[in-house]
A and B are shown apart, each in its own frame.
Chain A
Amino acid sequence: MHDILSVSVYNGEAIDLQKIPQLSIAEFRNSVIDAVSSGKRIASLFAAPSSSLQLSLYAVLADDDAGKLFILSSEVSDKYPSLTPDCPQAHLFEREIAEQWAVVPQGHPWLKPVRFHPSYVADRDAWDRKSDEQIIPSVMDFFRVDGDQVHEVAVGPVHAGIIEPGHFRFQCHGENVLNLEISLGYQHRGIERALAGGPDKRTLHYVETAAGDTTIGHTTAYCQLIESLSGDTISPRAQSLRGMALELERLANHAGDLGALAGDVGYLPTSSFCGRIRGDFLNMTALICGSRFGRGQIVPGGVGFDMTVQCSDILAERLAHSMKDLTVAANLLWNTPSVLGRFENTGTVQTQVCRELGMVGVAARACGVQTDCRFNFPAGIYRFAQIHVSTSNTGDVFARAFVRWLEVQRSIAFIRDQLEALPEGRIRTETKPLSAQKLAVSMVEGWRGEICHVGLTGPDGSLCHYKIVDPSFHNWTGLAMALRGQQISDFPLCNKSFNLSYCGHDL
């Protein structure tokens, strides 16, 4: 048995493809299961075509305590024994591999399509669908509960608000939800396939819009990955500016979420205030780079726009104002019993379930799990300016709201510190060509949680395979678990407390 601990990389480090341990599928399976049972997480698990017309399975295992990423590989053809029965957090990854590459994980208890697209391999399909058969999203066998007074509620894809599409199927007994099954894929644009063969003139724009509310998070992950493959180092000034952009993105979204949570329990003052404060943070991003979503700010080799002295002064002043406004708005929540009554003990995810599912980000930290890429896998500016991990331990809507509030305060402090001590220097350097036959992993703590990009280069140095794992991919099942035993009327509140990305999942 290989010692899987022999080969590891740090976040933002590339490794020769040849140095990745090649295991038999049995060894691969056991290694992943053992690693996860000893506390590591699956950051990414995917298949990519290997040179010998076969497929290679790759697993990226995150060791939060050591800050290391372990990479394993194994060759498969059209089937292999599923990991999921012994390692639940592999479940969605294995469904994805089956859908993309027509490789059947045998013994998978829940093998259904993830995004409802044709397989990448001509004339092969994990469900034996014909190549000319039209694939209709959410047409599949849903988990069903039968019995007297049990009924089914179907919601979506088109929802009641201005929100992305997805389908939710509830099995209910009266008002109580016995099970929620979430079926997505409506947003599938085929980004990962389009990224293969790059980088080209569209690559950065695919990444910017992979999940448009996380433009900074995804573009930072992409640029870190490119820089690790090209061997470029970006200037301290650019690192600082990237960090500020990432925290501004977090601030805007966390402020918006606090307001939306207030709205979902009918508490209009905070809802109204935060809706506006969110925009104030977006406008701060626009102050720096012209775009409220940070388009054009994060580019390979550095950043697109510098921080002028004047800009820095305005930003510091606006931050102080918004922090004051947000403090008032958020404290109303914590001081209003009718709000707390709805937040507390609603949509609880047990810590053990959170760990088993490999949840990440705000939702995991709300279960008391200490996981935050900025702290556990620091890259860029976070190696020098550490941000403490904000956790809560009740795992309910309250915890997910409160963790956001804690993070808001730390993000503001971070930006203030950076503005006061912004290093001098260039903001961008030309990047060198990418090294051939490498694999690189890049992780960023986006506002939802861990964003993991993995890129493989071919013999010519172009990206031959690109894998994006948005935090939503890990966490959608967490939302389904949070709904068990809840009233169906609490679904909007629970959903908002996770606020996951549909397009980030569907890519």
Chain B
Amino acid sequence: MIKVLLARLQQGHRTICFPKADPGLPERFRGRPILNPVKCTADCKECIDRCPTDALKKDADGLALDLGRCLFCGQCAGDCSGGAIEFSRDYRLAARSRTDLIVRGREMRLAEALNRETKSVLGRSLKLRQVCAGGCNACEADTNVLSTVVYDLGRFGVQFVASPRHADGLLITGPVTRNMKLALEKTYDAVPDPKIVIAVGACAISGGPYIDLPAVHNGADAVVPVDLYVPGCPPHPLTILDGLLRLLGKVK
């Protein structure tokens, strides 16, 4: 027993002071992309052609980047000789609607809290059932990590539970493979009302790298209604945590 106590002392206190403290993200971390339309040359579409998931588009209003499709590979920023696209170190990316994920400039509209009624039921205690529907185990791993001592999700009243019947909502990862559609539907049906759905990662939002492959459904909202989108491939644990807390109105 004394060895365990000594080990405990040696390991120290490791829980981060979120959201107050500096998250300490590495210099090369690729967070929210910032577009500078002024620097974008009218007839150049190098970034659009080379984007692996066609996340970039150019229309009458200029260049637009869909965070729901973006893999944060940084290819476009590297390709753009004019410097119209750069990736900031801002980890805050979650949004309530698909259209809010379209970035055109410096800002984006981050997720707002649930409506008052739902928040009064789920705001202080949110139990989630995670469903992996074709995820590659990266989004899953960085969701799982929220329950470690570093992020200590429980202190915010959020917890992952084993049964959908004990849950207030689903957190879905993966593009929803054809073989997981039925299981996802059944799991969703088993969650009692009122319930919410959170789509984590490019796959769950749009299909990600698997967009339009015959074996997948291009994301969770092809099957169930989604209340929160958390972009990334995979999203950083802080991105997911920030999204959850915004939804609950604990971060504004």
Binding site for B on A (CB under 8 A): 115-117, 136-137, 157-158, 160-165, 185-190, 194, 201-202, 204-206, 208-213, 215, 269, 272-273, 275-276, 278-279, 283, 286-293, 295-296, 305, 325, 328-329, 332, 335, 501-503
Contacts and interface: CB of A to CB of B under 8 A. Distances in A.
Contact of A185 (B143, B150, B179): B179
A273 B11 contact: yes
Contacts of B137: 164, 211-213, 501-503
B138 A164 contact: no
Interface stretch (B35-43, B109-117, B211-219): B211-219
Contacts of B138: 209, 212-213, 215, 293
Classify chain B: how many residues form its interface, as a range.
35 or more
Interface in B220-252: 233-234, 236
Contacts of A186: 133-134, 177, 179-180, 183
A296 B53 CA distance: 15
Contacts of A296: 73-74
Given A164-B135, A165-B132, A503-B137, A332 B7 contact: yes
B149 A275 contact: yes
B135 to A, nearest CB: 7
A325 B28 contact: no
A397 to B, nearest CB: 21
A188 B53 contact: no
B30 interface: yes
A301 to B, nearest CB: 14
A276 B135 contact: no
Given A164-B140, A189-B177, A292 B236 contact: yes
Contacts of B53: 202, 205
Interface string B117-159: 0000000000000111111111111111101111000000000
B97 interface: no
Contacts of A276: 11, 14, 148-150
Nearest to B141: A213
B83 interface: no
A290 B30 contact: yes
9 contacts: A157-B180, A161-B144, A163-B132, A187-B177, A187-B180, A189-B213, A189-B215, A212-B138, A332-B3
Contact of A287 (B26, B71, B141, B163): B26
A286 B28 contact: yes
- Going nearest first, the 9 A-B pairs with the smallest beta carbon separation are A212-B136, A212-B138, A290-B28, A160-B162, A275-B148, A190-B215, A209-B136, A205-B209, A162-B144
Contact of A161 (B29, B162, B182): B162
A158 B162 CA distance: 9
A212 B135 contact: yes
B20 interface: no
Nearest to A167: B183
Given A162-B140, A189-B215, A328 B7 contact: yes
Interface string B166-180: 000000001101111
Contact of B215 (A117, A202, A209, A273): A117
A94 to B, nearest CB: 21
A325 B11 contact: yes
B132 A288 contact: no
B8 A283 contact: no
A188 B133 CA distance: 10
A187 B174 CA distance: 9
Contacts of A158: 131, 164, 183, 187
A194 B213 contact: yes
Contacts of A290: 26, 28-30, 74
Contact of A163 (B140, B210, B236): B140
A389 B51 CA distance: 41
A447 B178 CA distance: 29
A335 B163 CA distance: 35
B209 A202 contact: yes
Given A292-B142, A503-B136, A328 B11 contact: yes
A473 to B, nearest CB: 15
Contact of B50 (A115, A201, A288, A305): A201
A295 B235 CA distance: 12
B215 A275 contact: no
Nearest to B208: A209
Interface in B176-194: 177-180, 182-183, 187
Nearest to B146: A162
A422 B237 CA distance: 31
A279 to B, nearest CB: 6
Interface string B42-76: 00000000111100000000000000000111100
A190 B213 contact: yes
B148 A212 contact: no
Given A137-B179, A188-B177, A286-B29, 8 more contacts: A117-B178, A163-B132, A185-B179, A189-B177, A202-B53, A276-B11, A295-B71, A295-B73
